[in-house]
Structure 1
């Protein structure tokens, strides 16, 4: 009689543990998880598309993922994979949008919808660009992704939009360098400031920050006692941007400061007032190095410091995957 009694106790304990485990799973599980209900691929895909059209992007993404999970070898799975990434993008979940697009490219690198997947990756990084006072790692990743799209598919409509966004991203990165350079300049760390301004001139010379960078270089070189270098910066500024207030300021500084050793130079007070300037309608030509500088305009006024130009939000077209 002891053996049956022991078995009964063991079975009771096993049943209680199963019930307790199920209860914990219900309490600790994700309430947003889609329950597994076997459905045909057409019904699942249609339900996901309906949610997408209604603006229920999170539910649509979950259903598109369910298409891929339940019918991984159907043609609908490939379509659902890209549509799921698009749904995550519209929902603002850019990390999942990037992961889904990259997974699509790893499985279907030669698919005709691959350009759109690269475009979706680039846009997901682009939408996360923050202002110039914060770290710009995401901005660099956006620039790399946009460049990859242009390199692989230069003749697509997505590459045309990427070229415009590359100019905006480069302008944003230049703005970050200018922000750091102005910070060093306010603290009197002239060498560190000049290195940042020089980087803008060398790497981002077609951006809207190039004129200010040349004027700031004139300031920092004069503060360091490098009068010849300051004259060269002012000459380059005058040759490329002769009618700007930045050149008027640089020309005035170059005439006011005599040739003195760094410790004897009068203190420079950098311009810090910052109402924003309007962007030019087209990308400026690359900077050239002249031999002489033209005179400043007669009615020149002190320059202003342009503020950061926030990146505009972009909504990509709805993908239309094909077989």
Structure 2
């Protein structure tokens, strides 16, 4: 039996050296299942790396990640150790193990900050936050981290193939953040907590002006201020809405609300909305 095992090992290594992937997979499947750790130490870093790739292709991500880790452990200074690290980040992300994906991507950036794959590592780190945005409910910590990481890709690697995708995802994450503020603002508005609602809509108008939620935020401000009897603020919100988003259905709703109280959408008073009107409509930023 010992002679048979030695013979199989010799055949397996010959198959690896010859680069015949199908035969290598078939031979590995039998022998290495019983004596895996010892056999890995007899292989070159490329052979272990290729085997990890094969496991990844078949969908065995746990085994692929383990083998990529073995490349790093056994041959830490090899070119394949560097490749294995970035592939571990990719494999973890494919398995939706975002925390480990980020950890591997960050290790790659720490060890190889000037490498040609650094842009991809930063992108993987960013989308590991981005892909969790819809899972976090009202906790927007991951959304802020996604925005920060995506901005790093855009600013540090503007000519990379990942910059364009990062810009798109940044805009969507930014819009998502505004959407969460709107969601909470509507919640307060429906329950008559007008001051709390106004604070949320104000954040959208002041900090998320470029998002798709701004027209509705201005309309909800008209509703909330009218409910509190603050007509100057309501009229000013309607004026901003009419100037920038006159084609929006929210403007017609606000116009009808104001008209119903014999009011016009016009800038009045000296509050924060008057400052927004001065900046946005008149262009006076100082």
TM-score tier by shorter-chain length is: 0.7 to 0.9
Correspondence 1:227 to 2:231: yes
Distance 2:37 2:202 in 1: 58
- Residue deviations 1:294-317 (CA, integer Å, cap 9, x gap): xxxxxxxxxxxxxxxxxxxxxxxx
1:246 alignment partner, one of 245, 250, 274: 250
The 5 Å alignment of 1:132-143 reads 133-143=137-147
Distance 1:105 1:132 in 2: 26
Higher relative contact order (CA 8 A, sep 6+): 1
Correspondence 1:288 to 2:280: yes
Cα contact 2:136–2:142 (8 A) shared by 1:
no
The 5 Å alignment of 1:155-166 reads 155-166=159-170
Q: What is the aligned length?
A: 231
Distance 1:132 1:209 in 2: 20
The 5 Å alignment of 1:36-115 reads 37-38=40-41, 39-115=43-119
Q: Report the Cα offset of residue 85 of structure 1.
A: 0.9
The 5 Å alignment of 1:196-235 reads 196-235=200-239
Helix, strand or coil at the partner of 2:162: helix
Listed as ranges, the gaps of 5+ residues in structure 2 are 1-35, 264-278
Distance 1:236 1:156 in 2: 39
Q: Report the Cα offset of residue 132 of structure 1.
A: 7.7
- Residue deviations 1:103-129 (CA, integer Å, cap 9, x gap): 011111111111010000011111111
Cα distance, 1:88–1:200 mapped onto 2, change above 3 Å: same
Distance 2:169 2:157 in 1: 15
Correspondence 1:126 to 2:130: yes
Cα distance, 1:132–1:187 mapped onto 2, change above 3 Å: farther
Correspondence 1:167 to 2:171: yes
Distance 1:58 1:238 in 2: 56
Distance 2:50 2:161 in 1: 28
Distance 1:83 1:218 in 2: 52
Q: Report the Cα offset of residue 256 of structure 1.
A: 2.0
Cα distance, 1:133–1:74 mapped onto 2, change above 3 Å: closer
- Structure with the larger helix share: 2
Q: Report the Cα offset of residue 290 of structure 1.
A: 6.2
Tell me what 2:31 maps to. Answer: none
Listed as ranges, the gaps of 5+ residues in structure 1 are 1-33, 260-286, 292-323
Q: Report the Cα offset of residue 73 of structure 1.
A: 1.3
Cα contact 1:222–1:257 (8 A) shared by 2:
no
Cα contact 1:119–1:149 (8 A) shared by 2:
yes
Q: Report the Cα offset of residue 225 of structure 1.
A: 2.1
Helix, strand or coil at the partner of 1:130: helix
Tell me what 1:146 maps to. Answer: 150
Distance 2:261 2:141 in 1: 39
Distance 1:40 1:157 in 2: 32
Cα distance, 1:188–1:158 mapped onto 2, change above 3 Å: same
Q: Report the Cα offset of residue 43 of structure 1.
A: 1.5
Q: Report the Cα offset of residue 40 of structure 1.
A: 2.1
Calculate the aligned-residue CA RMSD, in Å.
1.9
Helix, strand or coil at the partner of 2:209: coil
Q: Report the Cα offset of residue 83 of structure 1.
A: 0.9
- Residue deviations 1:222-249 (CA, integer Å, cap 9, x gap): 1222211111110111111112210111
> So what's the TM-score if we normalise by structure 2?
0.76
